[in-house]
A and B are shown apart, each in its own frame.
Chain A
Amino acid sequence: MAFEGVCHLLANLVEYCNSSETSYDFAEDEAFNSEIEMSNFMDANIHVRDAIFDKYSKGYAPESHMGEGSSSLVHASTSLHDFDEGIFKAEDNPDCLRSRWQLEAYLNQQADILEKDPSLVPLNSFNATMSQLQALAPELHRVQFLQYLNALTHDDYIAALDNLHRYFDYSAGMQGIFSRSSSSFQDIIVGKYESALLCLGNLHCYFGHPKKALEAFTEAVRVSQMNNDDSCLAYILGAISNLLSKIGMSSTIGTIGSPYSLGNNIGLGTPLSIQQQLLVLLKRSLKRADTLKLTSLVSFDHLSLAKFDLKHVQRPLVSFGPNAYTKLRTCPADVCKNLRLSSHVLTDFGVDGLSASSDNGSFSTSWLRNLSAASNSWCSSSTKSRKVLTNDFDNFHFHAQPSPIPAAVLQLAGSAYLLRATAWEHYGSAPMVRMNSLVYATCFADAASSSELSLAYVKLIQHLAAFKGYSAAFSALKLAEEKFPSTANSHIQLLKMQLLHERALHRGQLKIAQQICDEFGVLSSSVSGVDIELKTEASLRHARTLLAAKQFSQAANVANSLFSTCYKYNMQVENANVLLLLAEIHKNSDNAVLGLPYALASQSFCKSFNLDLLEASATLTLAELWLALGSTHAKRALSLACQSLPMILGHGGMELRARAHIVLAKCHLSDPKFKVTEDPCSVLDPLNQAVEDLQVLEYHEMAAEAYYLKALVYNNLGKLDEREEAAASFREHTIALENPYNEADSLSY
């Protein structure tokens, strides 16, 4: 070591020893009781002297001083031990040394927090902390990466872009996100610009610029091929498939104009549809990740494949001759297989003792994570400890002890459960949805990001709304809102609007329903192809509102245009829904003949995508349509309704069940051979059931219908008192429907 270096070392040591004693005195004398600390960045036991830091640490709750004495010892020794790695001196506290290791651990933790719940991290004060760090440790470029993440999660496009470029310029790829585990000398020379491009692509993807994102990814593919960076390539492929699945594009032609375009890379001359490309990319990514042993990526790809299988029919790319057998159905077995395989990441992790460092990449920003594992014990951040308090499921977590499984792995394993819930939602099994969401919310809440966790909550609340009515759902929503402020969390916000809209439709408050529809429309981005699911839902709800307002031709128009959009973007599952809606519209406009083909089409769509519950409901609609054609078809309608009953009674929500019951009763009543007096129970029982459910839902229109039917039946039976009672209820509901009371407070709950 150079002479000056030794001088520094000695001088600083002396100062350090002196000061750590004096600062103890200080703390007692001057009563630094505010105990505001820059969490673990500052030491746990040396108080911040400068009041300036007050503003930086606003976001952090005061930290408990557990293990104060021992941690200071550990601390001093590590800073000595890591002296060669770099010394960092805090400006306000010149005697407090930090090793690079400790700083990086701090950065890891911040990255985790940012990813988990960005709303916990205030944009500006975090930036201030980071620039402070930057001033103190200019060679630590990761700070810039964190600033990038911060800007990204706070939707600051320009700052994110600037920081991204700055980070990769400075580190010149040397601190590339994957280089930590396998940084051979060659890598450093070549640089890791492909990871810069990967991040850039993800940034554009995040902000909804699909074209730019694709350009960045194609360039990334090219550069990583040039630099023989296989692992990065695998990640890029994963990212591209993520992009393709997320963003609606009718075709890639025109978006990827280069001769290196993905279509040609695949090696088939004919241009592929976007779905085919997606499938090919996913399979390539999976293969590559498998050979490179990137466990997390394998798991991610399995998840994406499951997602793909859920919604799309796998067609063979090239079929030879007319005899080639194509099964135009989705295959739930594939979905399950992929979900199961994706969860293997957990067991693989346990068996190999694989560090998650190299495999997690930009999806989870866990390039930092493995670092913290060792040193995390002392740097239990205040934010985390606060989380411990708020999170009911976290009682087992003793936060001085690092979790044996990295959060990223847990997260992936968790998403498998979330995806399972979604899959069952499609296939139509309510208990399975509920169970999987519950598993997610209880077992993975700790590692989950706020958006994913809120998604699980959303599913649970939707389940509640369907089976227990709105009041239960809204009280649950209130609880969820406390946990995730709805302004920050789009899932919760969306759910709130969905519930409000449905309730308004049921209560017949059409103005409010329309208002919420408009709000829906505002939520999505104006760029075409972005937020496609949100847009679909918005116009679906718009059509429903119009239907409820009995503006049939307009509703049909909206639904038709929605159908063509869905067709354009290959969203077949949504198409099944839209077709069913069209059938409903025609049914309600007394055009049963026109409605029949739509219902049949919807049914066949449902069959090929295994959407059992939706199929049952389509069958029900079909029964209603037949019924509307005249009493001669009552027999056929009855058999159809009975066909759908097991599914609906087993898994359907209250509304669907009530509808089925009413249809059943109607079928019996319109059957000329059926005599009420002979078997009143077969009509009255379903009607009573329906009425019960509809009361809870406050669905006035259908409740009125049910009561009307009941009154008719009682009339036939000659039970006058009951008849009068049913008629009064009928009247009540009709009035409620015609004069929707206190509209003002129906936006509240």
Chain B
Amino acid sequence: MSKTMSKSHNVSEAESCIHGAANRSSRRSERRRADVEDPFGRALEYFSQVKAGTPVKGNDALENNLVLVERVALGRGLPPGAVATLLDFALSLRLGKKLLCSRVLKFLIPASAVPQDSVVRGVSWFCMGKMPVSAQILFLRWILTMFDLIDSKDQHYIYINDFCSLLLIITQWIFSLSPYVCHLLYLLTTKEHGKQPPLTQLLALYKVLCPEMIAISMPSKTRGGFKNHNLPWKTALAAVLKKNKTAEAPSPPLSLDIKEKASTRKRKLHHLEVPQLSCGPEIESSRGKAVHLQQLRSFAQLLQNLDNIELPAQMGSLLSSSLALHYLDCVHDESALLRLNFWLGSVLHEEFLFCSRDGNPENSTEPSQFLDMLISTQDFLQECFSSSEFFLFKFLAMWDGSLHQPQILSLLSDIPPLPVSRMKMFLFEPLQQLYFTSSVFFKCGVIECLRSMLWKWLTWHFVQTSHKELDVSLSSSRTMNLHMSEFLELVTELVQYVGRLASAGLQLENYHILLHHQTLNFYELVCDVYLKFNLPLFLLPPSGVIFPSLLATDPVTVDRLGYVIFRYRQNLMSAKEHKQQKKEPSFHISRDVFREFNLLMVAVVSCLWISKDCQVDVGTDVHKALVPLRTMLSYCKNYNLIHHPAFLNYAIEFHQKCWPEQTNVDLSSIQGKKYWYWYLEFLFSQGFDGLKDFIQNNMDHQSTPVGGH
């Protein structure tokens, strides 16, 4: 019987298809094909179209579809449309009363959201009063569980009102005999009944909403008034949500997501709580159209109301949500920013400077979370709060170098360019003391911090100068109101400072490979300052960095050094061309820079190159500080690419490939003209791109025993 039923259904569909226009029929058949591929869609269609009075018992199509939908629902959750269809199907009681309704409700697990309309429809079915009591209860419990998922996208407020009015309808329906019911309740309720938790909870809410109506005093702890019922959907819903969450790409929604309080545990001192967004005191009469930040839900709303937004009562609360941070970026009110700085400075001072630590290491998660929040905020604004700058300067003088190390170093790198004297006194001096007395990992951290700081300064500078070219009217000297000469002086000072730290640090730490790389990282930034940031500054690494890198036992270090020297050369060449073309008098590069670089180049080339006879003409007017270089050169002969300890391994491998039968490895046989180039190609094929750039670019200019390349 059931088979004929479903068949007849299909037949009628097919008939309509025949009667329809040709293109329509083709579309229909397309859809049909899709249906065949998508049984779930077909099942939903069945539920939306099934007519009232269709028999339930022995209906295989119904049973099959139910099982299918149930499996999908419990597996990955139902899409919003499906939730709407099924809810409508269940509550309309089209196919019988009790069993089907509760069965559908029980597996109604949404994948992401429940459409608001469907809930509204459901409530109207509910109010018709045809549902059995058990189904009514089940439906209400379902709403309670799904409450947070009810879709409220753009019409949040309308929805609230709609929904409230609907709930009012429910209440009215329940209390349509309200005068009598209430009277009865009034008569029956005794003191003990009045203390029932749900009633107290409701009364407490009313007391908050309209305190003038309820004068009784409430017990302070009414929590747990509503039992967190162990609702049947909870676990399934959680599983589905978790599954979907891991499946989809993590895209943090832009919303007013008030950050959760770090812990519910009551701290003795509430230094680190970011205040909640709230509007200003009513004492000050506010403008008529003012919008409160906490009312906004989306970035679009923020943009629409940007001019009417009222600042919150506590500026610190702006740090509590991402949307508020967007707004903070537009705030130009001096007082407001000062308030924020007072708040932030006071929090930092109280927590890290004044507060005597009780030596409890468990306490440190909350402070580090706060610092993380500050770091991400400053990253977002691309600026350092001046209160955090002052805090850091004070904190550095008493820092042991380990407390919240990653966070503090990260914050330090946000410090803007300041006059050299201040920078030396407040940053360089204390940091240097910590640097020399700490582990190699702290040293790496410091170098990385200073690199990141330099990178931020250079980026600011670059944006500033390019802004000036775009629009002269912009009074753009705000992130850096140092003059150009002061800025150059500061950058020079920083680079030299890092040079000193690195040379001494390398020696202290026995040329630790990590420190090597961190240092070269720094110089990879410094060597490209002219080409990348348009800053005519050429600062070479000190010998204490170059030669340890050149003679390192690790090939990657040598390779990176090659890259750094190559980039220095590109920068200098380009600056020279620029100078010759424009003939600007202000653009001046000291001859010493070129001389120093040439000397460095000669040293490195003659070291790595085969250099039978390393006769280098270093000139007679060599800078006195560079004299040690010349003595270095005499030792360099044994460090060419074949005998260099970092590449020895490769040389032997190459030798074995060339002369596999020879057991006696004679590396000097590679020095032959042909083999030498093959050997170089072999090295380049191993990924030493820095070395490749360096060698290929210098070949044309250096006299080599092997002639042109």
Interaction A to B: no
